[in-house]
Structure 1
Amino acid sequence: MADARKRLEMETRRGPIGSASPHDSAAKQVAGEAIYIDDIAEPAGLVHACLGLAQIAHGRLISLDLAPVRAASGVLAVLTAEDIPGANDISSTHRHDEPVFATETILHHGQPLFAVVAVTRDQARRAAMLAKAVYEEAKPNLDVAAARAAGGDLVTDPLKLERGDVAGALAASPRRLKGSMAIGGQDHFYLEGQIALAIPGEDEDMLVHSSTQHPSEVQHMVAAVLGVGSHAVTIEVRRMGGGFGGKETQSNLFAVVAALAARKLKRPVKLRPDRDDDMVITGKRHDFVCDYEIGFDDAGHILAVDAVYAARCGWNADLSGPVTDRALFHMDNCYFYPAVRGRSEPLRTHTVSNTAFRGFGGPQGMVGAERFIEEVAYATGLDPLEVRKRNLYGDAGRDVTPYHQQVEDNIAGHVIAELERSCDYRARQAAIREVNRTSKVIKRGIALTPVKFGISFTATWYNQAGALVHVYTDGTVMLNHGGTEMGQGLYIKVAQVVAHSFGIPLDQVKITATTTGKVPNTSATAASSGSDLNGMAALDACETIKQRLTAFAAERWQVAPEAVAFLPGCVRIGAQEMSFAELVAAAYMGRVQLSATGFYATPKIHWDRKAGRGHPFYYFAYGAAAAEVAIDTLTGEYKVERVDILHDCGTSLNPAIDKGQIEGGFIQGMGWLTTEELVWDEKGRLRTHAPSTYKIPVASDRPRIFNVALLENAPNREPTIHRSKAVGEPPLMLAISVLHALSDAVASVGDYRVCPRLDAPATPERVLDAVERVRAEAAP
């Protein structure tokens, strides 16, 4: 308690911004007291729903006998497309290509055909397996190669980014090479799976507790399926046990089915799929194949890049358009290409529809960019880090991206230099090379890779947010905004903004659940923009209330408005000071409105997709990571020995939260690039659908030495919330350093003369294959 009081006193003196305040849910999570949807006290009459799934990946549904399902113990209702009063559509795009329930055409294994509602969850699950379906099966196209071979059907419009004379620059380049890289997908594997609890009200009202990152979209989907106005549907989200993008659009299905069943039975309905079903039904990170041609010179300068990023998108568009767009937006990473052409190829496959995932295509684009660097380094015999430095964005003439945005805040070179010095990179690299000369089996590798990540939604209209702030007469504050909390610390950061604005302790700000009934038309909590958007919206509401309080105080105590100041712990009015609560109480007696809404729209951004040019990002977040690994060349097994990270958060709102995001993002990225492998069989059935078959990193996989630092004295040049920078997605891409450290270790078996071309995920099998390939190529 003494430590808590001391921390509170220090916070009061300096204000909450920049303090390492604990996550608002941390203590409750550790104690098991944090309430998730499955912990909500069950309302009277609650029943449970389960989805019935297609058992083929491609073909036609000839017949579906649901009589055995209806006759099963405890079953109350069975729902099909015929039971939908509104639209049988939950597509997040204008293409309307995602039905709630399939009616004839089957486009992926696990596609929902019906839902069964029973008294217990177990009864619903058992009943769902009793359906008798007859199919006319067709051959599925399951990956990029198969989709291309079948004609290359696209789920959405492709994008092309181009600057300069690519053909001419390639022809004039002293050296050229071609290559291809496979970049695997990733399951979201959130701790809390998809879940929805729907509670019907009077008239047509429906309250849905949904584990979603996009409450407003779920609201609109539920309303459209039920055939009612959005004003009749309220979506509420207190917290999620992880989201990572998997709950931006994919939560629509579960909320809609729960609401549909609740409407039909006029009683509360919960839908929580089994983990296996969750993984089979829901989309993943897109896996890509990047085909490229590069022109360069003997000094390692890249002169031209022509690349195609083809993605396995799945059976419908979902968010594949913007995801593949963003992959192209990051095909440069931190590097300037004098002539560049990038094209996306969003291919339709008979697999689950892939969706948003932390980084939203950016990580795949950057992995390709770092492969370009590696190719040039091995072709010229230069050190990869030196090639990176020689190709960084720079001054005028070397500061324009492939999408024609000028890089105004380029600090990549500074971040690289600082990390290179602080982690003693060159000495460690030399020591590793020396060890590798004599070690016959265990080879070590090291790599330092940078990150430049654009911050903003590329769908410009999403760059807006609203907030609601109530001040009560005792000086306490209730805060509500459109952002959702999925463990990333958004709620505590925005609460810090409000507390700092009013000059009050953080514990006087009450964080409340996100709900469409308080803040309407919200954007998804995604694109790393949660704090940027919602923090500014909340600040706008606070400033409105402070302006009213200032005018009241100036009139009441006869001072100029400029003489009223909200300070940490008090309000100064002329020569006197009083507490915030005292001023608020007096203002209430003076009939001053103590509630306000706030709004924020990101400035400066614009994007013309057809032209492939614009200013889609408000600013860039930077970082760099140095990774050191050791591989066993007899088995392909490896360990990550050490990682050093220097990351740019601008002026951090909360260093503790930001470091946690950096560490977590890095480990998640490391899992994506090393152990997390998605496997479908020839029938289109997902085989990696449980913890037993899908390997995310565990505690023992973390780097043995893990040093994380925030870049100091680097405020955002743009007027973001307290000059901070987004930190949700960019750290994931720092894990590219692990992939390239593994590549460096593999290259040592060929005396660093052959490019390993190590694809992702770099599983031990792939590492071993690369070792044998490099040995064979280097042998002559």
Structure 2
Amino acid sequence: MKDTHSITGAAHTDRNHDSAIKHVTGRADYTDDIAQPEGTLHAYLGVSDVAHATLNGMDLSAVLAYPGVVGVLTAEDIPGVNDISPTGLNDEPVFPTDKIQFHGQPLFAVVAETRDAARRAAELARIDCAPLQHALDPIAAQEAGYPHVTAPLKLERGDVDTAFAGTANRITGRMAIGGQDHMYLEGHIAFAIPGEDDDVIVHCSTQHPSEAQHMVAHVLGVPSNAVVVNVRRMGGGFGGKESQMNLFCAVAAIAAKKYGRAVKIRPDRDQDMTATGKRHDFVVDYDVAFDDAGRIEAVGGTFAARCGFSADLSGPVTDRALFHADNAYFYPHVRLTSRPMKTNTVSNTAFRGFGGPQGVIVAERMIEEIAYATGQDPLDVRKANFYGGEGRNLTPYHQEVDDNIFDRLVSELEDSAAYRQRRKDIVAFNETSPVLKKGIALTPVKFGISFTATWYNQAGALVHVYNDGSIHLNHGGTEMGQGLNTKVAQVVAEAFQVNFERIKITKTTTEKVPNTSATAASSGTDLNGMAALNAVEQIKERLVAFAADHWGVAAELVRFAANQVHIGDLTLTFDAFIKQAYLARVQLSAAGFYKTPKIHWDREKGQGRPFYYYAYGAACSEVTIDTLTGEYRVERTDILHDVGRSLNPALDKGQVEGAFIQGMGWLTTEELWWDDAGRLRTHAPSTYKIPLASDRPRVFNVKLADWSENRELTIKRSKAVGEPPFMLGISVFEALSMAVASVADYKRCPRLDAPATPERVLMAVARMRDGG
């Protein structure tokens, strides 16, 4: 390896994603690209065609008789425990035994010589069941007396009842917030290869290899050390592969061990969408009191969520919705309650933001209500209610906001986007344009970083330095396109002061780093970067001690720089130095570990410090709507986002752009719709509309707040970037609301429900004109 006077790929510099060229040339290997051993079998799920029923029996004789079918798996074929609940509530069977709980629920799996045979045979089953009444949404579930899937959370601070009783201005309302399908490019897939004794290797597309490992061990009735889960990369995840992959891993592993042959399972996109969970739909009843100037005095809110038939991750998701129901704003008196409702739908799960977006948008709705009620610019109401100032820094969960940068962030964006002048111009345009109406909104985001399940805030890494100076990096995080591997490798390269190209980034595997947390909660780089740095520091400490002893110099005179090691007046190449250390029997490998400090959380009390720090951002969006059709377009978006001291500005900017578009899609075009029979009708790209390239803002300006630096000791003082910018898409939703409000001279809040599809926009325009 050639020595240089500086290193390539250091932290805080732009660096292409390590697999970027492979992605665009088709050379990136995914689970479906793994060469199949001779005799590989294929599995496919047989699913329910009713939403709720007593399961009396299944006639699978025609399935078994289909050419190429090797066998069928049912609950009776599970050697261990028939449960894949990620929270251990024993409420999510691999296959049900007595009750069907949603349309599309997997009832059995066909195992055949080909995927086509398995898929066709699965349609031949005859299911004997007695239909029951079903409830599909949280309101219907409450009316039917359905239970919560997990215990609700209450956050409370101050004297809410007294504050409401003494207020002069009070608004109550209800907002329906739609769910969202993950629509990853690579769907769910698992490929299991049986080994000797209890052993099985599972290749899959999961964000949580350790959970998949434990779930497979659980259903097989074997210890976790018998199961290896490997993930090289995913073609997108967004939270949809945090817990939902458990089903596919379990089915593949059970079949592989039963038949002694490799087994792959890959559902069609339709089955992927109907059988796996999504972002939670919410119906929120809000209550806000405020003074004549528009400053909030008290807030109440009940957040009811469509959780599905089992708990999955609904508890922490609905908790986080409450954690972010304040967004950027201080509530002097507040009471927030979650209602995680059981419904006869697929069990909803993690999605980018993890409940946070549903909380943030309710905060923005209340700001919007106050602005229309007081006749103010919503931005002025936002600024009046920002955290900051004496006695105005405590959240509803009693954590102090001590790293607030809203004043500078929002002011800079307000100026760079020319918000005030453009708003004035838009109001003038709307006065003279009878059909086309414009709207503009500038919305902020405050997002807490850390898993609220405190024990997940840990990570491990394994770093090997080989005696030729090459470096092997492994950590517990998973790469799903976000650039995690690239960032962690940059940290390692800078710590050793070597070129990025010297580092080999390997697949995530439970064989190397055990008991890892999901790559989720925007914590992938925070946790795994620190764990990798810890491993490097261990190795460097040994190397410095060796050099000081071997060459008789003080330890402080040993310095790593630009692919070299300086030892007093002696300079060696990194390769030569490592060879010397190896010959002296210095250990050149280390397992690193990190756990997030300072965090604690008491759920019973609803108090603590669940977040290590906050990430901030703001977006200004302008839209134009057609009041005759409800169609609209996004004319311009300006974003200023806080990522602390960026590890890789190019990757971080890409994350901000992608998150914004995905957030915009959630609030505009992406609509999940179930019919009265409980069937998901938007179950394919033909019926479910994600944003296209043509839907992006015509003018799209994205800038990182390069002056920001994390006050907490994170990896190189950076901040998480995966989830926070998702909520910047709310600026589009708020701009649409302004455009609709213009038809009634901005006198009333349009109260748009999400997603604001063209149909909803058109109906809202009609309501505003009719005075409804």
1:336 counterpart = 2:330:
yes
The CA distance in 2 between the partners of 1:679 and 1:414, in whole Å, is 41
The CA distance in 2 between the partners of 1:182 and 1:536, in whole Å, is 40
What code does the residue aligned with 1:401 have? T
- Report Cα offsets for 1:683-704 as digits up to 9, x if no partner: 1011000001000011100111
Alpha-carbon contact 2:496-2:560 (below 8 Å) kept: yes
What code does the residue aligned with 2:27 have? E
What code does the residue aligned with 1:380 have? T
Residue 248 of structure 1 aligns with which residue? 242
- Report Cα offsets for 1:405-434 as digits up to 9, x if no partner: 000101112111010011111111111111
Alpha-carbon contact 2:539-2:587 (below 8 Å) kept: yes
What code does the residue aligned with 1:252 have? N
The CA distance in 2 between the partners of 1:593 and 1:620, in whole Å, is 39
Pick the aligned partner of 1:261 from 241, 255, 259: 255
The more displaced of 163-172 and 565-574 is: 565-574
Residue 141 of structure 2 aligns with which residue? 147
What are the equivalent positions in structure 2 for 1:197-216 lying under 5 Å apart? Answer: 197-216=191-210
- Report Cα offsets for 1:223-274 as digits up to 9, x if no partner: 1111111000000000000000000000000000000000011000000001
- Report Cα offsets for 1:502-529 as digits up to 9, x if no partner: 0000000000000000000000000000
The CA distance in 2 between the partners of 1:503 and 1:484, in whole Å, is 25
Residue 212 of structure 2 aligns with which residue? 218
The CA distance in 2 between the partners of 1:14 and 1:649, in whole Å, is 22
1:394 counterpart = 2:395:
no
1:461 counterpart = 2:455:
yes
1:772 counterpart = 2:766:
yes
Pick the aligned partner of 1:618 from 609, 612, 621: 612
Alpha-carbon contact 1:276-1:689 (below 8 Å) kept: yes
The CA distance in 2 between the partners of 1:613 and 1:111, in whole Å, is 38
Alpha-carbon contact 2:212-2:229 (below 8 Å) kept: yes
What code does the residue aligned with 1:567 have? A
Q: What is the Cα deviation at residue 94 of structure 1? A: 2.6
Pick the aligned partner of 2:745 from 751, 756, 774: 751
Pick the aligned partner of 2:90 from 75, 79, 96: 96
State the SS of the aligned residue for 1:625: strand
Alpha-carbon contact 1:306-1:341 (below 8 Å) kept: yes
Pick the aligned partner of 2:69 from 66, 75, 88: 75
Residue 177 of structure 1 aligns with which residue? 171
Q: What is the Cα deviation at residue 395 of structure 1? A: 2.3
Question: Identity of counterpart residues, as a percentage?
Answer: 67
Alpha-carbon contact 1:627-1:738 (below 8 Å) kept: yes
Q: What is the Cα deviation at residue 577 of structure 1? A: 2.2
The more displaced of 557-566 and 605-614 is: 557-566
Q: What is the Cα deviation at residue 15 of structure 1? A: 5.8
Q: What is the Cα deviation at residue 569 of structure 1? A: 2.8
State the SS of the aligned residue for 1:76: strand
What are the equivalent positions in structure 2 for 1:320-719 lying under 5 Å apart? Answer: 320-719=314-713
Residue 314 of structure 1 aligns with which residue? 308
The CA distance in 2 between the partners of 1:771 and 1:152, in whole Å, is 36
- Report Cα offsets for 1:574-595 as digits up to 9, x if no partner: 1232221111111001110000
The CA distance in 1 between the partners of 2:633 and 2:35, in whole Å, is 45
The CA distance in 1 between the partners of 2:564 and 2:747, in whole Å, is 67
- Report Cα offsets for 1:678-723 as digits up to 9, x if no partner: 0001110110000010000111001110000000221100010000
Residue 236 of structure 1 aligns with which residue? 230
The CA distance in 1 between the partners of 2:81 and 2:57, in whole Å, is 22
Report how many residues are paired.
Answer: 771
What are the equivalent positions in structure 2 for 1:36-185 lying under 5 Å apart? Answer: 36-185=30-179
What code does the residue aligned with 1:259 have? A
What code does the residue aligned with 1:628 have? E
State the SS of the aligned residue for 1:162: strand
Question: TM-score, with normalisation over the residues of structure 1?
Answer: 0.98
The more displaced of 522-531 and 169-178 is: 169-178
State the SS of the aligned residue for 1:116: strand
The CA distance in 2 between the partners of 1:572 and 1:455, in whole Å, is 39
- Report Cα offsets for 1:39-97 as digits up to 9, x if no partner: 11111211100011011100111221000000001000111111111001101113110
Q: What is the Cα deviation at residue 9 of structure 1? A: 6.6
What code does the residue aligned with 2:278 have? K
What code does the residue aligned with 1:637 have? E
The CA distance in 2 between the partners of 1:500 and 1:259, in whole Å, is 40
Question: TM-score, with normalisation over the residues of structure 2?
Answer: 0.99
Distance 1:479 1:13, change over 3 A: closer
State the SS of the aligned residue for 1:218: helix
1:21 counterpart = 2:7:
no
Show structure 1 runs of 5+ residues with no match: none
Alpha-carbon contact 2:83-2:91 (below 8 Å) kept: yes
Alpha-carbon contact 1:176-1:293 (below 8 Å) kept: yes
Moved over 6 A (4+): none
Alpha-carbon contact 1:533-1:600 (below 8 Å) kept: yes
Alpha-carbon contact 1:14-1:568 (below 8 Å) kept: no
- Report Cα offsets for 1:273-294 as digits up to 9, x if no partner: 0100000000000010110111
Alpha-carbon contact 2:146-2:343 (below 8 Å) kept: no
Residue 286 of structure 2 aligns with which residue? 292
Show structure 2 runs of 5+ residues with no match: none
What code does the residue aligned with 1:538 have? A
Alpha-carbon contact 1:500-1:568 (below 8 Å) kept: no
The CA distance in 2 between the partners of 1:164 and 1:566, in whole Å, is 55
Q: What is the Cα deviation at residue 396 of structure 1? A: 3.2
